[in-house]
Amino acid sequence: MQKVFARPATLLETGFHFCPGCHHGIVHRLLCEELDRLSLADRAVGVPGVGCGVFLYDYIGIDTCEAPHGRATAVATGIKRVLPQQFVFTYQGDGDLGAIGTAEVIHAANRGENITVIFVNNSVYGMTGGQMAPTTLLGQRTTTSPAGRDCQNDGYPLRLTEMLAPLEGVAFAARVSLHNPAHVKKARRALQQAFETQLEKRGFSFMEFISACPTNWRLTPQQSIAHMEEQMLSVFPLGIYKDTTAGVLQKEGESANAVL
Ligand code: SF4
């Protein structure tokens, strides 16, 4: 009988610590499928930041280097410059990349560092208890915004992909979502493009995954899927925002959705 579905070789045979309905496991699987497809396991280095994705080294069978909070793109820059033959990616969440590591990611992107940044956006600080993040939606209740995020006091949701895509050093930037199988397939295709960007030495590649955090949203996994579709995607439109092979720099909204 032909085998049509199997665990990627780089995805280690151990249980995830992620909560039920969390999407980190899907991102891990997509990463491993791509590492296998491109035979990168022996030369890949993952750099997880601080957050729920911190245990990357327990789940993916590649070299990893844990970074201090927010510093993953700086650590990845150092590794890539010293070992340019290695394939280097970071794995970061909202707080790590969108708050504490904002300076690092902007400057790494602007320098055109030939690394890939994986950004998991679930609009809260997951690991530390569901505090408001830069990506938290207006009106969203979190442990530090119990009455809902208020723009007068807390500002607006930060759109990292739109912010980084125009920088000249950025060769590829995309925002994808994991709320249904069709979008997981689209996410896989975009991740392939991001990885190939680094392999072709074209510069900085950025992948934002819109993801669920049922635990801190205080929703069931099914309710979380609906929340993503109904609340998050209008604030964070999906699409390929930049792809230098196609010379594309798409505006937020209609053109982005037209692609994904
Ligand atoms: S706290 Fe949220 S992001 Fe963290 S593992 Fe649980 S569901 Fe996932």
DSSP labels, 200-257? TT--EEEEEEE---HHHHT--HHHHHHHIIIIIHHHS--EEEEETTTTEEPPTTHHHH
Tell me the fold of 24-259.
Answer: Rossmann fold (3.40.50)
Cα(81) to centroid of ligand 1, in Å? 32
Mutate to test the pocket of ligand 1, among 16, 97, 213, 219 (most ligand atoms within 8 A of CB): 213
Give the pLDDT band of residue 4 (cuts 50, 70, 90). confident
Type of residue numbered 21 = G
Give the pLDDT band of residue 5 (cuts 50, 70, 90). confident
Distance in angstroms (rounded) separating the CA atoms of residues 70 and 133 = 13
Distance in angstroms (rounded) separating the CA atoms of residues 242 and 168 = 10
Tell which wins on pLDDT, 255 or 238. Answer: 238
Cα(49) to centroid of ligand 1, in Å? 15
> Using one digit for the tens of pLDDT, what is the confidence trace for 41-60?
999 999 999 999 999 999 99
Give the pLDDT band of residue 257 (cuts 50, 70, 90). very low
Look at residue 67 in the predicted model and tell me its pLDDT. Answer: 96
Distance in angstroms (rounded) separating the CA atoms of residues 107 and 48 = 18
Q: Are 74 and 106 in contact (CB under 8 A)?
A: no
Q: Could you identify the atom of ligand 1 that is nearest to the CA of residue 23?
A: 8
Q: Could you identify the atom of ligand 1 that is nearest to the CA of residue 214?
A: 7
Q: Could you identify the atom of ligand 1 that is nearest to the CA of residue 21?
A: 7
Give the count of beta carbons closer than 10 Å to the beta carbon of residue 204: 29
> Using one digit for the tens of pLDDT, what is the confidence trace for 77-93?
999 999 999 999 999 99
Q: Could you identify the atom of ligand 1 that is nearest to the CA of residue 211?
A: 3
User: Burial code of 13-51, b = ≥16 C-beta within 10 A, e = fewer?
Assistant: eeeeebbebbbbbbbbbbbbbbbeeeebbeebbbbbbbb
Cα(215) to centroid of ligand 1, in Å? 6
> Using one digit for the tens of pLDDT, what is the confidence trace for 137-150?
999 999 999 999 99
| Ligand 1 atom 6: residue of nearest CA | 19
Indicate if the pLDDT at residue 8 is higher than 50. Answer: yes
pTM: 0.94
Give every CB contact of residue 244 below 8 A, 6+ residues apart in sequence: 171, 172, 197, 202, 203
Indicate if the pLDDT at residue 256 is higher than 60. Answer: no
| Ligand 1 atom 8: residue of nearest CA | 22
Look at residue 246 in the predicted model and tell me its pLDDT. Answer: 75
Distance in angstroms (rounded) separating the CA atoms of residues 44 and 61 = 9
Average pLDDT, integer, range 215-239: 97
With a Cβ cut-off of 6 Å, ligand 1 is lined by 18-19, 22, 24, 52, 122, 126-127, 213-216
Cα(130) to centroid of ligand 1, in Å? 9
Give the count of beta carbons closer than 10 Å to the beta carbon of residue 189: 12
Ordered alpha helix ranges (H), 68-217: 72-82, 102-111, 151-154, 160-164, 181-199, 214-217
